Amino acid sequence: MFGRLKQAVSNATNSVKDGISNATEGVLEVIEWNDYHPEMLVKRVPESGPADIKWGAQLIVREAQCAVFFRDGKALDVFGPGRHTLETGNLPLLTNVIKHVTGGHNVFSAEVYFVNQSVLTEMKWGTPNPIDMKDPDLGWVQLRAFGTFSVKIEDPQLFVNTLVGAQKMYTHQTLNNFLKGSVRTKLNDLVGTTFESYAKIRSNLDEMAAAMKIKVRDDFGKYGIELRDFFIQDVSVPEEIQEAFRLRAKMGALGMQGPAAYQQFQAANAMRDMAQNEGAGGGMMSAGAGLGMGMMFPQMMQQHMAGAYPPPGYGPPPGGYPPPGYPPQGGYPPQGYPPQQGYPPQQGYPQQGPPQGYPQQGQAPPQGQAPPADPNQAKIAKLQELVDMGVLSQEEFQAKVAQITGG
Amino acid sequence: MEEVRDLRMDERQGAGGVLDELMRKIPGFAGYLDRENRRDADQRHREFIAKRLTQKKRDIQDVGEILLGSGDMSQMSALDSLTNKCDRLIERTRHASAGFSSFMDSNAVDVQRLDTIYEHDLALLTTVESLDALVSRAESAADTKDNVGQALREVKKGLDEIDAHLDQRDKILKGLE
């Protein structure tokens, strides 16, 4: 009797224990997202399927997070930062559902999506295909641009419903890939409708970024996302056009303007390159190119500086130059030049062997050939030439001769 | 304003339910609960203000959209500066100190101080609502292209007032006012 009673009590006790165990096994009493990672946008609790949540369980939501409660695929409530006790008082929308579904039991099934509400930075955008633009100076150009932007999930319920639930978008990277398509489209539109030249874009990058924030507002907003920052790191044209810009700057620095300037600039560069290229053309080509450039540059400078040269205050040389009597009467070359027999002499040139009077090896210099008889005579002859050229007057000549001869 | 305050406090006290009533029987715990209720009510109120400010930010962006529609980029930087300022104010309001003081802090935040903070935050709502008129004026100016810059400068002044109001809140919490 006593043994049977003991057995019955034991069975009843085990039965109660099992019941408790079944009720508490897998039942959530504290729900939180504490293994936060900046790459993660959303954490679902549990990771799959619905969770059994104890009535009166604690939901802990941290700053920069919020929790969206789901049941049967529908978002029922959103909880902000703080500790929330899941009960009738603070889950009014759930109350009726829970009563209906659980029949008054203290466990209900639901899913919780924790949403990262911090500002998501370092999202990248770019233009894999160039944007065509008609520039008044450059014609059709292909622009490329890239930069970064940052967003914040402003409406978590909308975000979870539109992107997370439907597209399983849980990470920073997947969201970035999704949003940058919209950025590209709006940038294309903005460039085409608002900016008329590449130069204007370059000088209005701030304004362009601000305008982009307004442009994509609705595109992002429909998913509960807000664009916080938009940075344009660069807007560029192809390399050959950039090279043309640099060339134009160079020509501008040299004072060259107008349609012919480019040809002249290129010609001058080509000659300079040939002159510097000692290997290919040989010395003569180098010399010729150098000479050509030397002759061309003054002309070019003269053309480009026409009207501006000489600068004010820099006039012609003062009167008195050239001195009277210059050039010498009779023209140039002076009479008697070239010599009557022609130059070089037809016969006997070049001379075979050493010139006459040049000492042979081992011999002494020839006598009576070397210095002129009187050095003063040579000086006087030079002075006479200067008189003939009109550099010296007759009086100056006489004075110099007297000085030389000591007279 | 009184109604708003009472509504928030009632919401908070109603949320505690039976558990709160039981805990109030614990000696010394009722005072803690009173302070917690005030902080929670204040946080709800600040969240409400943050949402209103978010709406104002959208209104300012609407002004930008009007200008952009007509190809006018001249005020884009000014508008961007205003929306950035709005972002800053929204976050400052949402994440403002709740008024906790540590055990070692000589400047304890008591119920009276929390009440002062709460009143201060209620007054903040009035300042935020006064932005409505300024933003509407900016919208009209954008429509007519008449003195948009001046209208935006007025909006900036309104936002600066909110900023100053939040600075003052910090001072109250630190016992400097």
Q: In a 3-state reduction of DSSP, which class is residue A165?
A: helix
The pLDDT of residue A19 is 36
User: How far from the centroid of its chain's Cα atoms is residue A59's Cα?
Assistant: 50
DSSP-based three-state secondary structure for A264: helix
Handedness of CA A101, A106, A111, A113 (dihedral sign): positive
Identity of the residue in A85, A207, A228 whose CB atom sits nearest the CB atom of B76:
A207
* Residue scoring higher pLDDT (A155 or A70): A155
Average pLDDT rounded to a whole number, residues A291-319:
50
B66 inside domain: yes
Interface of B with A (CB under 8 A): 14-17, 19, 40, 43, 47, 54, 61, 64-65, 68, 71, 73-74, 76-77, 79-80, 83, 87, 95
CA separation (Å) from A292 to A255, A262, A275, A289, A300? 21, 18, 9, 5, 12
Percent of chain B scored above 70 by pLDDT?
A: 80
- Asked if the structure places residue B17 within a domain, the reply is no
Between CA A323 and CA A333, with CA A325 as vertex, the angle to 5 degrees is: 115
Q: Given an 8 Å threshold on Cβ–Cβ distance, is B68 in contact with A228?
A: no
Does residue A330 register a pLDDT over 60? no
Weakest mean pLDDT among A281-290, A314-323, A397-406: A281-290
Question: If you measure CA to CA, which chain B residue comes closest to A205?
Answer: B77
Cβ contacts of B87 on chain A, cutoff 8 Å: 228
Q: How confident is the model at residue A290 (pLDDT cuts 50, 70, 90)?
A: very low
Q: How far apart (Å, rounded) are the C-alpha atoms in residues A364 and A362?
A: 7
Q: What are phi and psi of A13, to 5 degrees?
A: -65, -45
Q: Quick one: tokens of B97?
A: 């100190």
Tens digit of each residue's pLDDT (9 = 90 or more) over A377-405: 888 888 888 788 777 788 888 888 888 88
Which chain A residue shows the shortest CA-CA distance from B86? A228
Per-residue model confidence (pLDDT) at position A3: 55
Cβ–Cβ contact A87 with B under 8 A = yes
Range of the domain at B112: 42-173
- Looking at residue B126, which CATH number applies to its domain? 1.20.930
> Taking 60 as the threshold, does the pLDDT of residue A122 lie above it?
yes
B64/A209 touch (CB, cutoff 8 Å), yes or no = no
Residues A198-241: tens digit of each pLDDT: 888 988 999 999 999 999 999 999 999 999 999 999 898 888 88
Is A194 in contact with B65 (Cβ distance < 8 A)? no
- Report the C-alpha gap between B87 and A148 in whole angstroms: 18
Residue B135 pairs in a beta bridge with none
Which of A56, A29, A89, A83 lies closest to B17, judged by CA? A89
pLDDT at residue B160 greater than cutoff 60: yes
Q: Cβ–Cβ contacts within 10 Å for residue A355, how many?
A: 7
pLDDT of residue A402: 87
- What's the pTM value of the predicted model, to 2 decimals? 0.60
Predicted confidence (pLDDT) per residue in A346-363, tens digit: 555 555 544 454 445 444
The answer to whether residue A92 scores a pLDDT higher than 60 is no
Among A174, A161, A168, which Cα is nearest to A224's?
A161
CA-nearest residue to A216 within chain B is B65
B20 lies in some domain: no
The 8-class DSSP code of residue A40 comes to B
Residue A210 to residue B76, Cβ atoms within 8 A: yes
For the segment B121-141, the average pLDDT, to the nearest whole number, is 92
What integer pLDDT is reported at residue A214 of this predicted model?
92
Contacts of B139 by beta carbon, 8 Å cutoff, 6+ apart? B59, B62, B63, B66
Q: Which residue of B has its CA nearest to A221?
A: B58
**Residue carrying structure tokens 């290997």:** A279
Instruction: Give the end-to-end CA distance of chain B in Å, rounded to a whole number.
Output: 22
Number of domains in chain B: 1
Cα nearest neighbour of B74 on chain A: A207
Given B17, B61, B95, which is nearest A63 (Cβ)?
A: B95
Q: Which pLDDT score is estimated for A259?
A: 67
HEC string for A306-320: CCCCCCCCCCCCCCC
Q: What does the pLDDT read at residue A165?
A: 74
Rounded Cα–Cα distance for residues B33 and A385 (Å): 123
Q: Which residues pair with A147 in a beta bridge?
A: A125, A232
Among B170, B167, B166, B38, which residue's Cα sits nearest to residue B114?
B38
Amino acid identity, position A364: A
Q: Which two tokens stand for residue A357?
A: 């009077």
What is the rounded distance in angstroms from the CA atom of residue A155 to the CA atom of residue A152?
9
**H-helix or E-strand spanning residue B58:** helix B29-69
User: In this complex, which of A89, A206, A207 lies closest to B17 when CB atoms are compared?
Assistant: A89
Average pLDDT of the residues of chain B: 83
pLDDT on residue A359? 47
| Angle ∠(A255,A258,A259) on CA atoms, nearest 5 | 135
> CB-based burial of residue A393 (10 Å sphere; 0-12 exposed, 13-18 middle, 19+ buried)?
middle
Contact A90 B15 (CB under 8 A): yes
Dist CA B143 CA B65 (whole Å): 10
Q: What is the pLDDT of residue B163?
A: 93
Residue from the list B77, B83, B87 with its beta carbon closest to the beta carbon of A206 = B77
CB A33 within 8 A of CB A51: no
Token couple for A283: 């010395």
Nearest Cβ partner of B68 from A88, A204, A214?
Answer: A214
Average pLDDT over residues A256-282: 69
Q: In this structure, are residues A222 and B93 in contact, taking their beta carbons and an 8 Å threshold? A: no
Question: How much is the average pLDDT of A42-63?
Answer: 83
> Percentage of chain A with pLDDT > 70?
63
In this structure, is residue B84 part of a structural domain? yes
Residues of A (37-76) whose Cβ lies below 8 Å from B: 63
DSSP single-letter state for residue A87: S
Q: Cβ separation of A211 and B64 shorter than 8 Å?
A: yes
In 3D space, the residue among B164, B166, B123 whose CA is nearest the CA of residue B4 turns out to be B123
Q: Is A265 helix (H, G, I), strand (E, B) or coil?
A: helix
Question: Distance between CA A224 and CA A247 in Å, rounded?
Answer: 49
Q: Residue A271: which pLDDT band, with cuts at 50, 70 and 90? A: confident
The residue written with tokens 């008189």 in the block is A387
The pLDDT mean for chain A works out to: 73
Closest partner residue to A217 (CB to CB) among B15, B47, B61 is B61
Residue B46's nearest CA partner among B112, B103, B97 is B97
A120-237 fold: Tetrahydropterin Synthase; Chain A (3.30.479)
Best mutation target among B18, B20, B22, B73 (most A Cβ atoms within 10 Å) is B73
Give the best residue of A207, A208, A222 to mutate against chain B (max B CB count within 10 A). Answer: A207
Residues of chain B found within 8 Å of residue A214, distances taken between Cβ atoms: 61, 64-65, 68, 79
Question: Is residue B138 situated within a structural domain?
Answer: yes
The pLDDT assigned to A345 comes to 52
CB count within 10 Å of CB B96 equals: 20
Q: What's residue A307's pLDDT?
A: 46
